[in-house]
């Protein structure tokens, strides 16, 4: 298991993170909000992850849904990057119009899906 990432008020401590290179920005890249400062972690979503999130969010418009994001964190030059590669939906019987509970069964299902689909 890798060391946890320590984040605080929009800043990230990247000592101990592996180094990596951010994916090249393509013409369709979208910046949400202001340009991050060098002290702020930059989060990059792959298009596949965005499509998975959208599909799961639209799968049931009457109840809350949940899931987890999978990817990697790394240091590049003086910055910290979090690259979200995929999204794994969670399934729980404990949900309603304004709540979703990550039950032990939901976590077991997420873990099994992660190990099976994204070893």
Q: pLDDT tens digits for the chain (119 residues)?
A: 455 544 444 555 656 789 988 877 655 667 777 777 778 888 888 889 999 999 999 999 999 999 999 999 999 888 888 999 999 999 988 888 999 999 999 999 999 999 999 88
- CATH code that applies to domain 36-117: 3.40.140.10
Q: Domain extents for the chain? A: 36-117
Q: What is the mean pLDDT of the chain?
A: 84
Is 90 in contact with 106 (CB distance < 8 Å)? yes
Cα distance between residue 2 and residue 4, in whole Å: 6
3-state SS assignment for residue 87: strand
């Amino acid at each position: 298991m890798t060391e946890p990432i320590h984040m605080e008020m929009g800043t990230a401590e990247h000592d101990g993170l592996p180094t990596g290179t951010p994916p090249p920005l393509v013409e369709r890249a979208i910046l949400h909000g202001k340009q991050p400062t060098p002290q702020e972690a930059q989060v990059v979503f792959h298009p596949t992850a965005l499509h998975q999130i959208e599909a799961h969010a639209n799968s049931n418009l009457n109840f809350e849904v949940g899931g987890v994001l999978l990817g990697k964190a790394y240091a590049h030059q003086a910055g910290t990057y979090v690259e979200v590669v995929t999204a794994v939906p969670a399934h729980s019987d404990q949900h309603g119009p304004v709540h979703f509970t990550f039950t032990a069964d939901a976590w077991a299902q997420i873990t099994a899906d992660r190990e099976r689909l994204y070893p």
